[in-house]
Chains A and B, each alone.
Chain A
Amino acid sequence: MKKGKRSEFLFFAFRNNKLRVGLSIVLFFLVVAIVGPFLTDNEPLKYVNPGGAEPPSAEYWLGTTTFGQDVFSQFVHGLRATFLVGALGGGIGTLLGVVIGFTAGYRGGLVDEALNMLTNIVLVIPTLAVLLIISAYLEVRGIVMESVFIGCTAWPWAARAIRAQTFSLRSRDFVDLARLSGKRSWKIILTEIAPNMMSYLLLVFILQFGGATLNAATLDFIGLGPTSGISLGLMMNYAVLWGALLLGIWWWFVPPGLAITAIVGALYVTNVGLDEVFNPKLREM
């Protein structure tokens, strides 16, 4: 029966236009991020073009910056950073949300009260302000550290949503039965409750991924991103800092923002598509 259900999901997944379009866009950029760096010999921050800023050409596919850096090289390396932050930051955010949500929802009582209070507090504090102030005081920052910080501040809404779902599942008969059979709590959560929420957890991860990407871009743009290396947000930061606007070097600041918009937008569309696949009520008639 389980197999039949899976193939039903796949059937609707392949026919869902939103899912197809969204997923193709994300995969396209993922491939560019993986393959791109092999297509260019230019280091992202190295001054390779003595002519300074030049529009896109056969030699420099996305042109060069004021300093003669290869924008294409910056772009593909930046894409890698974006996917890394999204996967790592989004993963940590989801994981924390899952752990706190399951614990609060399944335990209930005082544990729930305490965790719920914590969730509500972190929920109101503007995430970016905290990230800003932490980053401002750190002298050396890496992409991994940035992702960890972003993940650690992004979990509250996920925890709250997962808690609510767990709450409604834990009083079901099959969970009671598992409890009567003497299973440990964490085993019940893993084998009885989590499988019923897998589709939902996937949606949470996708949204967390998009959120982490946007947060990282914001931090990088303010100049509080990684202190070495390149990212899409840093590209925009440099472009604005060195007057790309006034000089009309659009090929410097358009690609990074366009890529972020496309990736995050495609993720949102994928999300709605998946939602329709999992929830028959939402399918377009």
Chain B
Amino acid sequence: MRRYFGRKILIYLLTFFLAVTIDWLIPRFMPGNPVQNMLSRVAVHPEAVEAMRGYFTRAFGLDVPVWQQYLNFWAALFHGDLGVSVYMFPQRVADIILRAVPYDVALLLPAILLSWLAGNKFGAYAARTKWLDNTVLPLGYTLTATPYMWLGIVLAWVFGIVLDVFPFAGAYSYDLSPHLSWRFVGDVLHHWFLPFASLFLVQFGGWAIGMRNMIIYELEADYSHYLEALGAPRNLIRNYAFRNALLPQLSGLALQLGVIVAGALVTEVVFSYPGIGYLLLAAIQNQDYFLIQGCFLFIIVFVLLANFAIDIIYVLVDPRTRRGMTGETA
């Protein structure tokens, strides 16, 4: 088990190192000069431009040798200093991101967990049950093939505009300010529902299909046939198959995290939901390089931590990894 975790942690550390390096490299070595881009947006006096160039060069830390820029980047990172936003000057990037995080957690956590649980249950029922299989399977394939933003757009259009039962923009009504009251909480939930639903539905389809296919594989396995030959009840065999099929679904969740996060980004854009995705889009449109870097780093760290959490859960549910027997698929 120690070896298993040792390897995992090494990979995560290397990934983090690589991600930070990419994050640092890209603005420096891509065509186009970020400082120049920013200056060209503010047409002012030539002297002012020079002064601003000096300021931005220092602000980006571009006035020292490259190797030192890199070390400085790391040092600042460990101090939690992600720089100052250009587009929301003079707020600090770290503060802006921390303000957006609760919305992401509120959206992603329930959507991921509920869709995984519900999708697996549903898929397991559907496998080798003719009429359910014939309805769930096409529905599941359609849902999992749906681009996140399109489902978001369609839900916003149908429920937000045509039926007018759910709001489709923002995290709460504009005439309310955040405070603790039933009215506000209800309003937040009301705004939360559509983005949550579109994230939930797309993932639900994927898990249902994955589980359905897994169960069919498991029901063809030797142990299932053996149990069948012994005359074990159908439900018992299916229970065993379900538990075995859950393990690949769990590693599947780890693999899907990146896609899910990407889906959340565009869903937030569709619904103007003030999470990291919405922030990242604003940062890109305003060429706010510090904010882009910060969002990227935050997403990477979130995905790495979630992956690690899934690894721990995997060890808890699969005794083979604990005993140091191979069985490690993730």
Contact = CB atoms under 8 A, between A and B. Distances in A.
Interface of A: 117, 120-121, 123-130, 132-134, 136-139, 157, 210, 214-215, 217-218, 221-224, 233, 236, 239-240, 245-246, 248, 250, 253-254, 256-258, 260-269, 272, 281-282
Given A121-B18, A245-B156, 20 more contacts: A121-B15, A128-B265, A129-B299, A132-B265, A132-B296, A133-B296, A137-B32, A210-B145, A214-B145, A218-B262, A245-B157, A250-B157, A253-B150, A257-B150, A258-B150, A261-B146, A269-B138, A272-B213, A281-B220, A282-B216
Contacts of B26: 133-134, 137
B31 interface: yes
A63 B27 CA distance: 42
Contacts of A218: 147-149, 262-263, 265-266
Contacts of B142: 261, 265
A15 to B, nearest CB: 17
A124 B251 CA distance: 12
Chain B: interface residue count, which band?
35 or more
B293 to A, nearest CB: 8
Interface of B: 11-12, 14-15, 18-19, 22-23, 26-27, 30-32, 34, 138, 141-142, 144-151, 153-154, 156-157, 160-162, 168, 209, 213, 216-217, 220, 255, 257-259, 261-263, 265-266, 269-270, 280-281, 284-285, 292, 296, 299-300, 303-304, 307
B146 A257 contact: yes
Give the most central of B34, B257, B266, B292: most A CB within 10 Å: B266
Contacts of B151: 257
B241 to A, nearest CB: 14
A268 B284 CA distance: 33
A11 B147 CA distance: 34
Contacts of A233: 147
Contacts of B259: 126-128
A245 B300 contact: no
A81 to B, nearest CB: 14
Contacts of A263: 145
A127 B32 contact: no
A157 to B, nearest CB: 6
| Interface of B, helix, strand, loop or mixed by DSSP | helix
A236 B27 contact: no
Give 6 closest A-B pairs by Cβ, nearest first. A257-B150, A126-B258, A265-B145, A128-B262, A264-B145, A137-B30
Contacts of A282: 216-217, 220
A199 to B, nearest CB: 16
Given A124-B12, A240-B270, A245-B157, A139 B31 contact: yes
A282 B104 CA distance: 40
B150 A265 contact: no
A176 B263 CA distance: 46
14 contacts: A117-B11, A124-B258, A128-B265, A129-B261, A129-B299, A218-B262, A221-B147, A222-B266, A222-B269, A236-B150, A253-B154, A257-B146, A257-B154, A261-B142
Contacts of B220: 281-282
Contact of B255 (A132, A157, A224, A281): A157
A147 B149 CA distance: 20
Nearest to A126: B258
A217 B26 CA distance: 23
A24 B6 CA distance: 49
A242 to B, nearest CB: 13
